[in-house]
Structures are given as C-alpha cells and as structure tokens.
Amino acid sequence: MNSGANPRRESNRDPASFRGRILFAIAGMLLLVAMLIARLAYLQLVNHDHYTTLSLENRLKVLPIPPTRGLVYSRDGVVLAENRASFALEFVPEKTPALNRALAEIQPYVSLSADQLSRLRSELKQRRRFDTITVKENLSEQEVAVFSVNRYRFPGFQIAGRLTRHYPLGAETGAVVGYVGRINEEELRRLDQGEYSGTTHIGKEGIERSYETELHGRVGYQTVEVNAQGRVLRVVESRPPVPGRNLRLGIDTRLQREAIKALDGQKGAIVAIEPATGSVLAFVTNPAFDPNPFVNGISVSLYDSLRNAPDRPLFNRALQGLYPPGSTIKPLIAAGAIELGLRDRRAATFCPSFFQLPGASHKYRCWQKAGHGSVDMIRSIAESCDVYYYALARDMGIDRMHDLLVGFGLGKPTGIDLPAELGGLVPSRAWKQRARKLPWFPGETLLNGIGQGFMLTSPVQLAHVASILANRGRVIVPHVVDLLESPQAGEQEQVHVVEAPSVPVHQEEAWNAAIEGMHEVVQGERGTARATGLDAAYQYAGKTGTAQLFQIAQDKRIDVKDITKQLRDHALFVSFAPLEQPRIALGIVVENGESGAHTAAPIARTLFDFYFALKGQDDASG
C-alpha cells in the first residue's frame, strides 16, 4: 500500500475514477488506431492495384524553363549587358561511382582549385544524390575540348552549356548598368518561387536591380514524361518562356567615354541630362570597378582589394556622394529673391569683401579679398559675390530658403531609376532641432546662402538642378532607361516623361536674371569661368562652385600649395547648353579639384563641344 502523502490530499487519493478515465482513454485510442488501420488496409490492400497503376502513370513532371535575360544597350547601339554562352562541368553523384578518384584524374584536363573542391564537397552533402552539381563554371575552350575527348573515362560527368551575363564595357558603364549575382537566401525568400524556379542570378546593383522584373521575363514550363528512374522520356507539353525585355539607355557611350577621359583619373562624378526629356546622357563616377567578376561570385581577395582601396571604387559618387553645393546654388537663391520680391535684378549690394551681422564682430568673408564693390544680381552670379548672398540670405531667412531649395529638388532623391540614391540635405530649423538638438543660429542662414554649412547634394542632384534651370522651372524626373523592347513581339515602349511639381518660381523675370547671370559666368567679361567659355561657338550658361572641406581661421591666408591634395576643396560646376532650347545639362564634381572655374568648368566645355560635334555627325549621317 502506498503511503507518505499529505492527509489533506486524502480526498483525491482514491484513483478509482482516474483509472476509469484511463481505461476510457485507452479504449478511445484503440478505436482510433483501428480506424487508421482500417483506412490503411482499404488503401493498401483493397485498392492496392488501383494506386499502383496511378503510381506507375504518375510520371509526368513539370520542369521550369528559365527565360533569357533582356539585353541592355546604349543610345548609340552599343551592347552594355549581354548573355554569353559559356560551358560548365557538371556531374550527378548517383551516376558517379568513384567520385574522389574521378576528381583527381580530371585535374589534368580541367584544373580545380582547393577552393572549388571544398565548395564542391560542402555542396555534395547538402544536395540529393540525383541532383546535378556544378564542378566548375566558365570553362575555357581548351578545357571543353580536352575533357570531351576523355569523357568516356568519367561516367556521370558532362559539359553543360549555359548563358552567363557579361558587361562588354566593364567599368565604363558599371555604375549605371550594375551587375547580376547569384540569388542569395534572403532574396530567395522574397522572390516568387514559380517565376524564379529555373533562374540562378538576379540583379544586385544598378539598372540590373531596378529593372529586375522587366529584364527577367516570365518563366516557361515543360511537362515531361519520366521513367521510374526519373529519366526524361519525352516532352508532353510545353509553354515557352517569355524572354526579358531589352532596355535601351539614354546614355551615349561616346559621350560617356569622353567624360571619363575629361576627368583624367581624378576622383569625382559627371552626370549629363537631356533637359527636355530627363534622359541621362552620361553617368560617370571615378574611380569605377569592373562588374564582370561579381557575376559568378567575386573572389575574396579581389573583393577585399576593391573594398579597402583608398579611392573607394565601389562607392557610386554620382548617386551617393554628398558634397556641399557651394556657389552653384546662387542662381537658385537669386531667382527665389525676385519671386519673393526681396530684390530686383538691378538692386545693388555693396561688397567690402566681408559681411557682418548687426551686433556681432564675426566677419563673413567674400572669396574676393579686394571686395566686389557695388554688385547687382547679374554680377553677383557672374562673379559669385558672397557678400551679396549673405545679405540676401539674411533677408530671405532660413525657412523660405529651405522651401525654395526643396522646390528645386534638393534634399530629397531626384527619383532617378537607379537603386539606393541618396537625397542629400537641405537644413531647416526642424532638422537642426531633431538631428543636433540645437536651435538655428542666424549665421548659419548666411552660410547656407552660399551653399556651405550643413547643406549636401549629390552630382545627380546638381545635374538635375542644371536641367531644371534649363527648363525654367519645369521639373522632369531623370531616367537612365529610355526604351523597353519586347524581343518576341517586337513592340517598343518609350519610358514616360515624368514631371514633378515645378519650382515655386513663376516670374519670367526671375528665370531671365538667373540664366543671364549664369551666361555671364562663362561668357561675360568678368565671369568666374570666362576663360573657358568666351571662344565657344554657341552660347551657354554655368555656375561654378567650390565646396570647402575645412575652415581657414579668420584673417589668415594660406598658400594652396601647403594644403595636401586630400584636403583641397572640391570643384563643382552646373551648366547647360545651348542657351536657347538647351539640349544638355551637366552636373560635375571633381574631388579636391580646388576651384570650380579652373578644374570643373573646362570639363563642361569639352563635353559640350564633343556632344554638339557628335550630334552634327549623327544628323549628317542621317
């Protein structure tokens, strides 16, 4: 007899009713087991023949046929992304009796690195014995030939043809076209399993990524009959895949190359936009990298050398490089001043080479040490007088200045059809309170008026601003892809010109003054960049800018030669040409280029000359 329990629990010590419940549960369980067995007997004994027949007939399998990825080519018809036939060595573990020996003996024909072998072994463990496993991709012609002759010695091994993405221009268009890479696990979870069932690669960067859906196409299927070993006997039915659409870019490779040449190895970015359509004509970031090694998995050493290079070639300066815009925003402020009734074009400000806020001793310097004297709006742009804009910024105030600059598309992404664009920064009271936990100081308004201080813009935004100026306030979203083309149906779809709300400057006089000032910059008698523009055969407009990297102490003069190259100012230039019916707008940044007028402005002139000559040739040849 069991004992030792608390007497208080005596009432529930009697297990009679518990035993009753247990017996009931066992009875219930046996009844359910009997039901299972009855059903199993019905399936496996009574209807065994029926299901055996079904299982023998059950030999139709649906296999995916991946679509061919769309091509990418340029405005002038140069292929920028294509699919190249390549050969890979594969094998099926089940059909390969002595794998280790075979891998050793295959070495003289197809050399395999230790890296490839170890990857192969880990894959071997994860895959099923009847799956096909790739040993080596991108075999050379010699490897294919030598292996084929000796193939009889390696049962289970075979050479398979496939298509590999290739970028003929490599680094020259890498920043725009981007690249594809193997689908990773995170993407696999996100993707439509059906659509990607036969696809191995997916766009990772550039338009390969932003136009993934269009480039990929639609998967096809074939229903095949297989025998009991799974071998395909015949194709019963098939639905062909719909190949991906070809993309035509607005980029002209000749202009693109000329822009790369003009940068002459300096770090920086150049973006050219056709103002009327928003089509991107050139998109250069320097230094750049070759996207081809990324397609089939870049080696660790190459990737590390790219990532750790001091010039940061993986960094897309055109899209993600953020620079203070410097004086390039002066025409914008000037146009806003007329619209807001703060200045007319003739109102003069006296520049004694510095500006002071009432009651403060700090002197805000003009770049012109001698002072500009009496300056009106046109001169203020042409000669980039800082004092004029200190005074104007004070009158406008940060709130109105913020709204004006945001109206020009600054401080937010332009909406270009490339992934991971950065929006830069247009500071405001609210931003400073949020980000810095500090109130706005009046002196910061003055600095913002000449594009210094907190403000940041990308080269794409600078080109966008140039294009908006050329369009006199119409904001057209820039786009890299001009045309989508379905290779089968042969139909073409022009990318729509997307217009954003226009700049809140509506007076013609405001645009006239801003553009006339910019014209004076390059082709006026005292313009900051007159040296580059005076002898041009066409009229154009531009504005230089210099983004200060560090502040020189008050009243101190420093010889430029004493400053190391990395600390020199960035040279900026926004420009469009010709003055009437502009055809090209440019945003240029040359890192550590010191002066917009000397380094960046000549690049614009070179590219304009080249582009117009090119157009002349193209028109002549019809």
Partner 1 sequence: MRLDRRGSLLSQVHIDPPLLGGLLMLCAIGLVTLYSASGQSVDVVIKQALRMLLGMACMIGIAQISPQRLARWAPGIYLLGVFLLIVTTAIGEGRGAHRWLDLGPIRFQPSEIMKLATPLTVAWFLRDKILPPRMGQIGIALAIVVVPGALIMEQPDLGTAILVMAAGLLVLFFAGIPWRLIMLAVGATGAMAPIGWLFMHEYQRQRVRTLLDPAADPLGTGYHIIQSTIAVGSGGWSGKGWLNGTQSYLEFLPERATDFIFAVYCEEFGLLGVLVLLAAYLLVMMRGVTIAVQAQDLFGRLVAASLIFTLFIYIFVNMGMVIGQLPVVGVPLPLISFGGTSIVTLLTSMGILMSIQTHRRFIVES
Q: What's the token pair of residue 58?
A: 């059950």
Residue type, 124: L
Of the candidates 127, 182, 239, 307, which one interacts with partner 1 according to CB under 8 A? Answer: 127
Q: Catalytic residue numbers?
A: 327
Closer CB to partner 1, 56 or 553, in the complex: 56
Q: Does 581 participate in binding partner 1 (rule CB under 8 A)? A: no
- 479 bridge partner residues: 279
Angle, to 10 degrees, between the axis of helix 508-523 and the axis of helix 459-470? 120
CA distance 67 to 72: 16
Q: What's the DSSP call for residue 385?
A: -
CB of 99 to partner 1, least distance (A): 14
Number of residues that bind partner 1 (CB under 8 A): 49
List the structure tokens of 264: 């002459």
Dihedral pair phi/psi, residue 511, rounded to 5°: -70, -40
Query: ∠ at Cα 188 (296, 173), nearest 5°?
Result: 40
**Interatomic CA distance for residues 260 and 548, integer angstroms:** 24
Among positions 45, 300, 370, 558, the unique one binding partner 1 when judged by CB under 8 A: 45
Instruction: State which of residues 33, 117, 498, 613 lies at the interface with partner 1 (CB under 8 A).
Output: 33
Written as one string, the DSSP assignment of 318-362 is: HHH--B--GGGGHHHHHHHHHHTTS--TT--EEE-SEE--TT--P
492 belongs to the binding site for partner 1 (CB under 8 A) = no
Closest contact distance (angstroms) between CB of 146 and partner 1 is 33
Is position 564 an interface residue for partner 1 (rule: CB under 8 A)? no
Q: What is the DSSP string of 183-203?
A: --HHHHHHS-TTTTTT--EEE
By CB under 8 A, tell whether 233 contacts partner 1. no
- Select the residue interacting with partner 1 from 77, 97, 100, 228 (CB under 8 A): 228
The residue among 4 and 490 lying less far from partner 1, judged by its C-beta, is: 4
With CB under 8 A as the contact rule, which of the stretches 17-25, 110-118, 204-212, 537-545 interacts with partner 1?
17-25
Name which of 45 and 560 has its Cβ closer to partner 1.
45
Among 130, 192, 237, 264, binds partner 1 (CB under 8 A): 130
Regarding 557 and contact with partner 1 (CB under 8 A), the answer is no
* Choice from 100, 114, 128, 619 touching partner 1 (CB under 8 A): 128
Spatial distance between the Cα atoms of 385 and 336, rounded to a whole number of angstroms? 17
Does 37 sit near partner 1 (CB under 8 A)? yes
Using the rule CB under 8 A, is 54 a contact of partner 1?
A: yes
Q: Residue 246 forms beta bridges with which residues?
A: 485
Span 333-352, contacts to partner 1 by CB under 8 A: none
184 binds partner 1 per the rule CB under 8 A: no
By CB under 8 A, which span of 42-50, 172-180, 452-460, 562-570 interacts with partner 1? 42-50
Rounded to an integer, what is the distance from CA 89 to the centroid of its chain?
33
By CB under 8 A, residue 554 contacts partner 1 = no
Residue 287, preceding bond cis, omega within 30 degrees?
A: yes
Of residues 190 and 506, the one with the C-beta less far from partner 1: 190
* Token couple for 331: 């025409």
> Residue 559: what residue type?
D
Q: Which two tokens mark 480? A: 């890299």
Site residues (CB under 8 A) for partner 1?
A: 2-5, 8-9, 11-12, 15, 17-19, 21-22, 25-26, 29, 32-33, 35-37, 39-41, 43-45, 47-48, 50-52, 54-55, 58-59, 61, 125-131, 189, 226, 228, 230
